[in-house]
Each structure stands twice: as structure tokens, then as C-alpha cells.
Chains A and B, each alone.
Chain A
Amino acid sequence: MADRRTHRLRLWTSALVVGVVLLAVLLVPPLVQLDEQAVDLSRKLLPPSWEHPFGTDDLGRDLLLRCVYGLRISLLVGLVAALVATVVGTAVGAAAGALGGWTDRTLMRLVDAFSSVPHLLLGIFVVALFRPGVWPVIASVAVTHWLSTARIVRSEVLSLRTRPFVDAAVSGGATRWRVAVRHLLPAVLPQAGLAAVLMVPHAMWHESALSFLGLGLPSHQASLGNLVQNARSSLLAGYGWPTLFPGLLLIVPTLAIAGLAGVWRDRLNPRRRSELML
């Protein structure tokens, strides 16, 4: 029972956080007609108050507003990059696992080659090829993050391919396509979907790291990484909140997304479902 209560608690807290974040990033920009880039040097570095709940930064910009815009960009980058990386990873992994032979060897050596370069270095290389913007950042995340999905999907397909239930399906007259669609894909898709959700926080952190290094989005554009980067000098001068709030907004929503992924993983496993009495 305790198991089930923890499961519920995790589901509801994560869902609540993700819900609030989604509402904020979807509703605030169109409803609140304020310019998040408006500079007011007379109000710089104000501590959190009713007027500015997150305080203001060193150029007098409202941090709550900038955080919402920053979270919006970070989430967008995270979602799109995770989607692209998952589709590429699933395609490569499924092809390698299902076709085997030299296709498998070639594709997997390619994966090894990509993995041998540190992720951030490869990511920096990709963004350095283009002008700063959202798409190069997404490309950078996607190029460095499809590898794990490819490995997961390949190993899953390999282990499934030799199961007697595939033999039974073949013996029962199923075509290759039928086996793939009816027996292999349903077994692999949840794993790939789970990998995609788990990748969203990764992608957000990758974007923030690039922006923090000044290689991601242009610095006037609010993103969580840019906000932390801009707040660095204020932190050294003794003003903590410009770093604290973007940092929290990076940590809490990514934990919540990972929490939802954990709930999903529990529900995927039929045995675990029965244990939790869902």
C-alpha cells in the first residue's frame, strides 16, 4: 500500500508542477502585455517584493517575466529536441536490431563514434557551425542525444527478435511486417517514449549549459541558461535572487518531468501495474 501511496504522491506532485509550468508559459506571454526586455535602470536589482515577486536584474528587468519567457524557450527546445532525437534514435536502433549483420555493425560503430566525443564538445561544435538561434541549439541537442535511444531500442529489438513468441507468430503465418507492428513495435514504443520524456530535462540542461557558455541563444533572449549567465556578476556583488529563481525553475520542472516519466515507467510494466493495483 505504501508503494501505491508513493506512486500517487509522485504522480500528483509532478503533474501539478508540470501543469502550473505549462499554464504559465502558455498563458502569461499572450495575456500579460508586458515587454520582458524593457530596461529600467532606476529599478535595477530590486529584491523580491509584491511588485516584482522574483525581483529585478541588473538592468531593471522583471525577473518573473523573464523567467517565464526563459522557461518557455527552454521547454520548447527541450521538447522539440527530445522528439527529434527519439525519432532518429528509434529509427536507427530498430533498423540495427531488426536487420542485423553489417547494417547493425555499421550503425552501431557510428553510434560509438558519436559517443566517443564528449557531448558538450560535440554540441558546441554543432552550434558553432550556425548563427546563434533556437534551431542550432535544437540541432545540437538532437545530434548528441539520439545515441542512448538508439542503443535502448536496438537491445530491446534484439532481445525480442529471438523470443519464442516471435517464432510462434511466424509459425502462425504472420508476415515480417505483422511481427514488427503487432509484437515488436508495441514492446519498443513505450521504452522509446519513456526515453523521450526522460530526455526533455537533459535537453533543457544542455540548452542551459550552451547558453551559460554564451554559445546558445543570443544573450538578450531570455532562456534559463542566459538568465543564470547574466546573473553571475550580480551574484558576485551579493545579489542572490537573479541566480536563485532561474536555477530553481531549471531544477524543479525537470525533476517533475522526470517524476512523470517514472510514473509512466511503472505503468508500462504489466506486473508492476498489478502490484500497484492500478
Chain B
Amino acid sequence: MLELDGVTAGYDRRAPVFRGASLTVAPGESVGLLGPSGCGKSTLARVAALLHRPDAGRFVLDGTEVRAWRHRAPRELRTAVGVVFQQPRMAADPRLTLADLLVEPLRATGRRAEAPARLAELAPAVGLTPDLLGRRPHEVSDGQLQRACLGRALALRPRWLICDEMTAMLDASTTAALVAAVEAYRADTGAGLLAVGHDRVLLSRWCDRTVEWKNCLPAEEGP
């Protein structure tokens, strides 16, 4: 269970982006979070990914209340949530090849030995051909780079996946391929999904249910 309860967060304590937001994602469930630009969807996603400390509220992940964020958060909690960001260019270290990018989480967590085998599984799963793996971010397209970023998010087999406007910058066919890759992973592992975006058609088709962000707060809506 991924439970956000009465979360207030922002970048200035005196003027938070939103107050008292609550959202629950059940194991294996997919939830789409819809809303206009600037309303705080991404900030909520960052809180759920343990990347942004909220000013108030509770966040319970699989029964454990999260009390520390970023580096201070226990590693097993951090790696239980995989994140894909909106802009692949910003989310990829320009010095790493796509192959290094995909397995960097394994190396960072001391599981270097598993890297080659995992790379062989991940690359086809996200649709990266072997000739792309040796290239660096500036030598591939946004779509190809986003595939690598999705692969990186899946590298540690997270129980939860957060896609923050994952397909906002991509064309229709790449969008379809990435959504298919996420769904294949979820079918395989039963991971929960929080997909953040502004594309109502996409999210309502992709997710079990959608939540509409109204008056700077998520309000429940039908499937």
C-alpha cells in the first residue's frame, strides 16, 4: 500500500504548493493523477518517490511510515519506488552510456555482478537495440533516452513505479511502446503504478482509475 495522508509540500514553508493532499495506491493498482500545469502533481510524485520532504502529513509505504527523505531514507524504501521523469535529457547523466545508465542502480547498490544479466533482460524489455546501448545521451533521441530511463527505473525491480509525465515529450508510437513496457513489467511483477500527467485520454485508458487534481488537492474520480 502506498498511502499519502494529509501531505502539505512545496518549496517555501510559508507558501506550500498544496496542503493536506491524500492519495492511496493499492498493491498492483494503477492510478492516474490528472491536473493542470503547476498544481503540484510532480511535487506529490517526488514526495511519493522519497525525493522531496513534505512540510506536514504522513507517508506510509508498505506499512512503514517514511520519516526520512533522499539520502537519509533507508535504501530498501528508496529502491522500492522506481521513478521516471518528464525530461529524459535532464534525468540522464550525460557521461554514461545507455548501458551504464540502465544498470547504474545495480552498481550503486553493490550488485555489480548481476548487471550483465539484468542488462540483457532490460534492454529488450524497453525496446533498446544493442547498437544503442554503447551510445551516450546526446547521441540518441528523446524517445530512446526515455526508454533507457524507464529501464533504469525498473533495474532494481521496484514494487512501485512513479511515472511523472513520462510521455509528455514523446510521439504517439513511443508513448504506446513505453506504456506497453510498463504494463508488461507490472503484469510480470504485480507492481503498483502512479502515473502523473495532463493527458486525460491516455491516463484514463492506461490506469485502473484516475484522480483529478482540483483546487490544488486530489479529488477522487471514476475509473
Contact = CB atoms under 8 A, between A and B. Distances in A.
A167 interface: yes
Interface in B56-96: 70-71, 75, 78-79, 81-83, 85, 87, 90-95
B93 A183 contact: yes
A5 interface: no
A176 interface: yes
A270 B136 contact: yes
B156 interface: yes
Given A165-B91, A168-B152, A182 B83 contact: no
B221 to A, nearest CB: 28
B205 interface: no
Contact of A274 (B46, B83, B138, B149): B138
A30 interface: no
Interface stretch (B1-9, B104-112, B115-123): B104-112
A37 interface: no
Contact of A171 (B51, B92, B94, B139): B51
B191 interface: no
A173 B90 contact: no
A270 B94 contact: yes
Contact of B108 (A178, A186, A271): A178
Contacts of B153: 168, 171
Interface residues of A, number: 22
A160 to B, nearest CB: 10
A118 interface: no
A268 to B, nearest CB: 10
B217 interface: no
B49 interface: yes
A169 B104 contact: yes
A170 B79 CA distance: 9
B90 A171 contact: no
Interface range for B: 20 to 34
Interface string A159-201: 0000111011111111110110011001100000000000000
Nearest to B103: A172
Contacts of B79: 171-173
A271 B138 contact: yes
Given A173-B108, A174-B108, A182-B108, A165 B136 contact: no
B194 to A, nearest CB: 14
Contacts of A270: 94-95, 136, 138
B155 A165 contact: no
A175 B71 CA distance: 6
Given A164-B90, A167-B85, A270-B138, A172 B50 contact: no
B108 A171 contact: no
A176 B50 CA distance: 15
B156 A172 contact: yes
Contacts of B136: 270
Interface in B162-213: none
Given A164-B87, A164-B91, A186-B95, A173 B75 contact: yes
Given A164-B85, A270-B138, A274-B138, A172 B94 contact: no
A13 B183 CA distance: 58
A80 to B, nearest CB: 30
A237 B155 CA distance: 78
A170 B70 contact: yes
Given A163-B90, A178-B108, A171 B71 contact: no
A175 B49 CA distance: 16
A169 B85 contact: no
B71 A170 contact: yes
A168 B149 contact: yes
Nearest to A186: B95
Contacts of A179: 71
A169 B109 CA distance: 10
18 contacts: A163-B91, A164-B87, A164-B90, A165-B91, A167-B51, A167-B85, A168-B91, A168-B153, A171-B49, A171-B81, A171-B82, A171-B83, A172-B108, A172-B152, A173-B105, A173-B156, A183-B93, A270-B94
